[in-house]
Amino acid sequence: MPISKDFNSILTKDWEINFLQCYPNGYLKYTDLCNILQLTAGVHAEMGGISFSDMQEHHQAWVLSRMRVEIIRLPKWRDVITVKTWINSLENSRSIRCLELYAGDEKIVGCETFWAVFNTLTRRPENLSLPHVHFDKYPNDRATEIQFSKIDINIDKTFVTEKAILLSDLDIVNHANSVKYLEWCLDNVEPNLLLNQKVESFEMNYLKEVSLEDTITIEKSHPEKATVFIINANNKTSFALQLNLK
């Protein structure tokens, strides 16, 4: 698709929180928070001519590698929020995208994401085939207090559960959607911690893709002041989540 006439290197987009996105207490689910952030990134990519459709002409897609979310508070049902996003860096096969979520003038969520270009035929990373010089990059502008990092997976952990990957878990890239991993883990967190907004931040590392009919195992550990979930498939670690609690 051509670059939109409304394209700008910094995008702000409003979203209204609907009841389907909320916990029983009326506040936005952490999974739907991530969906909103990624949808905003997708809108910006589409306006700038580097969307999934554009990239598929070269058999490419963006896949999420790391994501850190820092939360001051969550919005609630019927709130209108504004998400601001920009590219911190984009070089070769990798990009860092920053996002901030506002309620009015108040920043309530900060997020940084690390993306890789992925060939959907070979299932391997490769350099972006599309031009992106029209995107200004903002290497000094960050959205979180702490940058995303590599989660330590070599820790003592206990088995939680296992599940088979179903069609409903897949996205347009034909692998488990990135938010699904978070959903599977949060389903094994004490509900009151989520309902009472005790999650101060969380970080996710995506290591190996998971496909239809794979069977995953979920393990859990409790390092000091954090909870770590590990998802394994095909005898390899596919995903790690670190929840930092208040």
Return d(Cα 190, Cα 52) in angstroms, integer.
36
Return d(Cα 229, Cα 203) in angstroms, integer.
11
Q: What average pLDDT does range 126-141 have in this prediction?
A: 96
- Counting residues of the chain whose pLDDT is more than 70, the rounded percentage is 100
Question: What are the tens digits of pLDDT across the range 33-59?
Answer: 999 999 999 999 999 999 999 999 999
For the record, the structure tokens of 68 come out as: 């850190």
The answer to whether domain 1-148 and domain 151-246 are alike in fold is yes
For the record, the structure tokens of 231 come out as: 């998802």
Nearest C-alpha neighbor of 68 from the set 197, 192, 164, 182: 182
Looking at the domain 151-246, which fold is it?
Thiol Ester Dehydrase; Chain A (3.10.129)
- Counting residues of the chain whose pLDDT is more than 90, the rounded percentage is 96
Contact 206, 64 (CB under 8 A): yes
Contact 88, 138 (CB under 8 A): yes
Long-range CB pairs of 228-236, under 8 A, 24+ apart, other chains included: 228/151, 228/152, 228/153, 228/155, 228/157, 229/160, 229/185, 229/188, 230/153, 230/157, 231/181, 231/184, 231/185, 233/208, 234/208, 236/207, 236/208
Return d(Cα 176, Cα 77) in angstroms, integer.
27
Return d(Cα 87, Cα 64) in angstroms, integer.
14
Contact 219, 232 (CB under 8 A): yes
Which CATH code for domain 1-148? 3.10.129.10
Which pLDDT does position 75 carry in this prediction?
Answer: 98
Cβ within 8 Å of residue 105, ≥6 positions away? none
Return d(Cα 207, Cα 99) in angstroms, integer.
22
| DSSP secondary structure code for residue 235 in this structure | T
153 confidence band (pLDDT: 50, 70, 90)? very high
For the record, the structure tokens of 229 come out as: 């979930």
Which pLDDT does position 225 carry in this prediction?
Answer: 74
Contact 60, 93 (CB under 8 A): no
Contact 222, 156 (CB under 8 A): no
Residue ranges of domains in the chain: 1-148, 151-246
For the record, the structure tokens of 239 come out as: 């995903």
Question: What are the tens digits of pLDDT across the range 220-243?
Answer: 998 777 899 999 999 999 999 999
Which pLDDT does position 1 carry in this prediction?
Answer: 67
Return d(Cα 115, Cα 70) in angstroms, integer.
18
Find where tokens 């959607």 sit. 177
Q: What average pLDDT does range 170-180 have in this prediction?
A: 96
The pTM assigned to this predicted structure is 0.96
Q: Where are the alpha helices (DSSP H) in 1-75?
A: 30-47, 52-56
